[in-house]
Copies of this chain bind each other. A is one copy, B any other.
Amino acid sequence: MPNFKTIAFDADDTLWVNEPIFTNTRLEFENILSKYIAITDSLEKELYEVESRNLELFGYGIKGFMLSMIESALELTHYDIKGEDIERIISLGKDMLKHPVEVLEGVKDVIDELENDYQLMIITKGDLWDQESKIARSGIADFFNIVEILSEKNPHAYSTVFSKHGIHIDEVLMIGNSLKSDVLPICELGGLAVHIPFHDTWMHEHMEKQHTAEHEYYELNKISEIPDLIRRLSQD
| A→B interface (CB under 8 Å) | 57-61, 63-64, 66-67, 70-71, 74, 77-84, 86-87, 90, 93-94, 97-98, 127-130, 132, 149-151
Contacts and interface: CB of A to CB of B under 8 A. Distances in A.
A150 to B, nearest CB: 8
Q: Point out which of A70, A84, A94, A129 has the most chain B C-beta atoms below 10 A from its C-beta.
A: A129
Contact of A64 (B63, B78, B151): B63
Contact of A79 (B63, B80, B87, B150): B87
Contact of A128 (B67, B80, B81, B151): B151
B58 A74 contact: no
B63 A90 contact: no
A109 B88 CA distance: 50
A67 B68 CA distance: 11
Contact of A90 (B67, B94, B128): B67
A160 to B, nearest CB: 10
Contacts of A78: 83
Top 6 closest A-B pairs, CB basis?
Answer: A59-B129, A79-B83, A63-B63, A128-B128, A57-B97, A129-B151
Main secondary structure of the interface of A (DSSP, over half): helix
Given A57-B98, A128-B151, 12 more contacts: A58-B97, A59-B128, A60-B129, A63-B63, A67-B67, A70-B70, A70-B90, A71-B87, A81-B83, A127-B127, A128-B128, A128-B150
Contacts of A61: 63, 129
A67 B63 contact: yes
B83 A74 contact: yes
Contacts of A64: 63
Contacts of A77: 83
Contacts of A90: 67, 70-71
Nearest to A65: B63
8 contacts: A57-B94, A59-B127, A61-B63, A63-B64, A70-B70, A70-B86, A74-B83, A86-B86
